[in-house]
Amino acid sequence: MNRRTAILGAAATLAGTAAIVAGDRLWDSHEAGEWREEAHRLRRPPTPGLAGAEARTALIQSATLAATSHNTQAWRFAGDDGGITLLPDFTRRTPIVDPDDHHLFVSLGAAAENMVHAAPTVGLIADPRFETTGEGRIRVALRPGKVAVTDLGTAIPRRQCTRGIYDGRAVPAAELAALVAAGTRPGVSVRLITERPAMTALTALILEANNRQLNDAAFRAELKRWVRFSYAEAMDTADGLFAPLTGNPELPEAIGRVLFDLVLTTDAEKAKAKVQVESAAGLAVFISDQNDPAHWVAVGRAYQRFALQATALGIKHAFLNQAVEVPEVRRQVAAHLGVGARRPDLILRFGYGNPMPWSLRRPVADVLA
């Protein structure tokens, strides 16, 4: 047995042992209690009756609960009497996996859509408009409206990318139709793939892209920078990908960073992705008519509404975006789906399963411009 084999064996043993601990006791620890308390605090819905600056702060808080690639939270917010402005935070961009900032603008759209559905709770109507000039900001105008509690608004605190294994149950046709309606908007469509042969064909492209990414040292280094291996690290940054939320064990940061390079293999990720897809009810692909930031924002809004509708229906989802992140494979996806020059923007799996613990978000004070 050579040194590398010994290290890999030890790493696998340690990771396997830690995974058992993760399943049995990880979320019952003192640190887990602190995590849950903070995560739940962040997910308190807006209080009816808020007005002025307090109402705007509540809407910003709701906006920060939107999904972002690697949980980078690459956004800033500025409020005034007329509304709220969302701005991209390019200091938190991920240039390897997202070289054109597509995912960044998608996340801005998702955050704006959360505001749309949170606003009625505080008696406001939110109207987002993307500004095509400058750095690409979204102006969310606010005007008085009726106080209302809606299904999508109440889903905002509960929405999550659930990265666990689903139970394989099919989603009823009426609920599939509701998902399509929620995920369709001008310039954006969503295609649901629920037949197993079609899901398998798309999975092959996902796995091809996954292999390319994992064989790219720059991609691995960028991903590693956003992984939070321990509670202490995750609580300190309140961003990034906390290892247990991706199905991996919580470990001391130094050990986690060593094991990351040893156990993140193409074979392991291929096996995980196959199980994830096999357990899902289907795959959803979001497709935009044009490839520009305005349409990426529209995709983000469409995705977030889809995600909130899924949450309201008790349906889980998680991203499998590898095949749309590698340009060569993305073109194969477009050809496979027969969408011509339109861009496949996002791929996610959906189905029924148990919720995972919540991820964290940075405090509102930290995201104000």
Q: How confident is the model at residue 22 (pLDDT cuts 50, 70, 90)?
A: very low
Reported as a single tens digit per residue, the pLDDT across 241-297 is 998 888 788 889 999 999 998 888 999 889 999 999 999 999 999 999 999 999 999
Report which of residues 49 and 187 the model is more confident about.
187
* Residue 80 reports pLDDT greater than 70: yes
Of 133, 106, 2, 124, nearest to 59 by C-alpha is 124
- Per-residue confidence (pLDDT) for residue 72, from 0 to 100: 98
Reported as a single tens digit per residue, the pLDDT across 217-247 is 999 999 999 999 999 999 999 999 998 888 7
Q: Is 8 exposed, middle or buried (0-12, 13-18, 19+ CB in 10 A)?
A: middle
Lowest-confidence segment of 15-29, 183-197, 258-272, 343-357 by average pLDDT: 15-29
Q: How confident is the model at residue 12 (pLDDT cuts 50, 70, 90)?
A: very low
Is residue 280 a contact partner of residue 165, using CB atoms and an 8 Å limit? no
Reported as a single tens digit per residue, the pLDDT across 129-150 is 999 888 999 999 999 999 999 9
* Residue 16 reports pLDDT greater than 50: no
- Per-residue confidence (pLDDT) for residue 319, from 0 to 100: 97
- Per-residue confidence (pLDDT) for residue 28, from 0 to 100: 67
Of 320, 213, 211, nearest to 266 by C-alpha is 211
CA 304/CA 62 separation, integer angstroms: 12
Residues 29-42, mean pLDDT to the nearest whole number: 81
Output phi, psi for 21, to 5 deg. Answer: -60, -40
CA 250 to each of CA 16, 63, 221, 317: distance values in angstroms, whole numbers, following the listed order: 11, 28, 19, 23
* Residue 5 reports pLDDT greater than 90: no
CA 74/CA 105 separation, integer angstroms: 9
pLDDT over 70, % of the chain: 92
Distance in Å from the first CA to the final CA of the chain: 56
- Record the pTM: 0.92
* Other CB atoms within 10 Å distance of the CB of residue 245: 22
Output phi, psi for 162, to 5 deg. Answer: -90, 105
- Per-residue confidence (pLDDT) for residue 4, from 0 to 100: 38
Q: How confident is the model at residue 27 (pLDDT cuts 50, 70, 90)?
A: low
Instruction: Please give the mean pLDDT across all residues of the chain.
Output: 91
